[in-house]
Amino acid sequence: MSSSHAVVAVDVGGTEIKAALARGPVPSVLRQLRRATPKLADGTATAEAVVAEVADIVAVLSEGERPEAVGVVVPGIVDDERRVGVFSANLGWRDYPFGEALAAKIAGPLAFGHDVRAGGLAEARLGAGQGFDDLVVLPIGTGIAGALIIGGRPHSGGGYAGEIGHLVIADGPECACGQRGCLELIASSSAVARRYTERSGRTVSGAIDVATALRAGDADAKLVWGEAVDALARAITQLATLFAPQAVVLGGGLAMAGELLTGPLGARLDELITIQRRPELRRAALGDQAGCLGAALMAIEAREGR
């Protein structure tokens, strides 16, 4: 096979590593694989095991190819410029020098960054965010993360930008971050399911079950869903006030509800927006491939020296 424009992209998640061999300049996936993310008792040991696993994945995907660059993204707080994993709550590492460790095992240009920002970059260039220079990509899952795309580029703020789930929306329970009333305690997929169970006494497996109950006219689901929509609308209004995104791209489990989410969310935004630019709401298009495609885009840029 030809080596022209081939790159390897690796998206390290809390439970699974997704990887692909792709050919650019617009990444087209040639082959892909998934493996469990190693998790050891010690965070540094986990990071070292992840580096070894990534190196092996690159070797496997490179068979018959000579990839011109590799892109690797990881979760948590990530300093893209220093190529350091500052902190991962799920995987335990602190200030781990991923760039240096990966470069010792992988030859050629290497891009390293944050999984959500990489996914945001992919949605901006290849998915639902195409046509916008300034946007927020907002995955709503167990928590609520965010990728801020400004002038067509992800904004990292030394790794700390985009913690949208920790915007304080209202007085509420204490969050693991130490604040009270954070957005993700009200409007994340896990929060919607938890709050519905607490209110109704009926156990559900996730927010999609609450959406089903809402469609059936369940009063408890209506209340919990309405509070989540209001919290999201207030957070988006804050984002509109701060940097005026042209669009907000909604992803993750809650966005799977489609119009059941975007309809009332858009209506609530219309009520809250006054002097701000009202962002267009779109649903994410790339699903769980976004992080891997973003890593491929980063690898392509590294290959080209950008």
Q: Please enumerate in sequence order all residues whose Cβ is within 8 A of that of 237, keeping only pairs 6 or more positions apart, or say none.
A: 269, 272, 273, 276
Partnered with residue 144 across adjacent β-strands are 140
Radius of gyration of the chain (CA): 20
- Asked if pLDDT for residue 148 goes beyond 80, the answer is yes
Closest by CA to 23, choosing from 61, 80, 52, is 61
* Cβ pair 58, 67 in contact under 8 A: yes
- Asked if pLDDT for residue 1 goes beyond 60, the answer is no
Closest by CA to 167, choosing from 118, 121, 232, is 232
Q: Please enumerate in sequence order all residues whose Cβ is within 8 A of that of 107, keeping only pairs 6 or more positions apart, or say none.
A: none
Distances (CA, A) of 244 to 134, 235, 268, 282: 8, 12, 17, 16
Q: What per-residue confidence (pLDDT) applies to 2?
A: 42
Helix (H) or strand (E) holding 9: strand 6-12
- Asked if pLDDT for residue 270 goes beyond 80, the answer is yes
Closest by CA to 251, choosing from 119, 76, 77, 78, is 119
List phi, psi (to 5°) of 129: -95, 5
Q: What per-residue confidence (pLDDT) applies to 3?
A: 43
**What does the pLDDT look like over 220-239, one tens digit per residue?**
999 999 999 999 999 999 99
The proportion of the chain whose per-residue pLDDT surpasses 70, expressed as a percent, equals: 98
| Lowest mean pLDDT segment, chosen from 9-13, 64-68, 112-116, 273-277 | 64-68
| Lowest mean pLDDT segment, chosen from 56-60, 64-68, 178-182 | 64-68
DSSP state, 146?
A: -
156 Ramachandran zone, left/alpha/beta (phi>0; psi -120 to 50): alpha
- Asked if pLDDT for residue 142 goes beyond 60, the answer is yes
Superfamily for the 129-285 domain: ATPase, nucleotide binding domain (3.30.420.40)
- Asked if pLDDT for residue 131 goes beyond 90, the answer is yes
Domain boundaries, the chain: 6-120+288-303, 129-285
**What does the pLDDT look like over 198-217, one tens digit per residue?**
999 999 999 999 999 999 99
- Asked if pLDDT for residue 97 goes beyond 70, the answer is yes
Q: Please enumerate in sequence order all residues whose Cβ is within 8 A of that of 236, keeping only pairs 6 or more positions apart, or say none.
A: 136, 248, 265, 269, 279
| Lowest mean pLDDT segment, chosen from 7-16, 179-188, 297-306 | 297-306
User: H-type helices in the chain, by residue range?
Assistant: 43-61, 98-103, 115-126, 184-187, 189-200, 207-215, 219-243, 252-255, 259-272, 290-303
Class for the domain spanning 6-120+288-303: alpha beta
Q: Do domains 6-120+288-303 and 129-285 have the same CATH topology?
A: yes
276 CB neighbour count, 10 Å cutoff:
17
Q: What per-residue confidence (pLDDT) applies to 304?
A: 81
- Asked if pLDDT for residue 88 goes beyond 60, the answer is yes
Per-residue pLDDT band at 4 (split at 50, 70, 90): low
Q: What per-residue confidence (pLDDT) applies to 247?
A: 98
HSE-CB for 83 with a 13 A CA cutoff: 13
- Asked if pLDDT for residue 242 goes beyond 50, the answer is yes
216 CB neighbour count, 10 Å cutoff:
8
Distance CA 60, CA 57 (A): 5
Look up the pTM and report it.
0.92
Per-residue pLDDT band at 123 (split at 50, 70, 90): very high
- Asked if pLDDT for residue 65 goes beyond 90, the answer is no
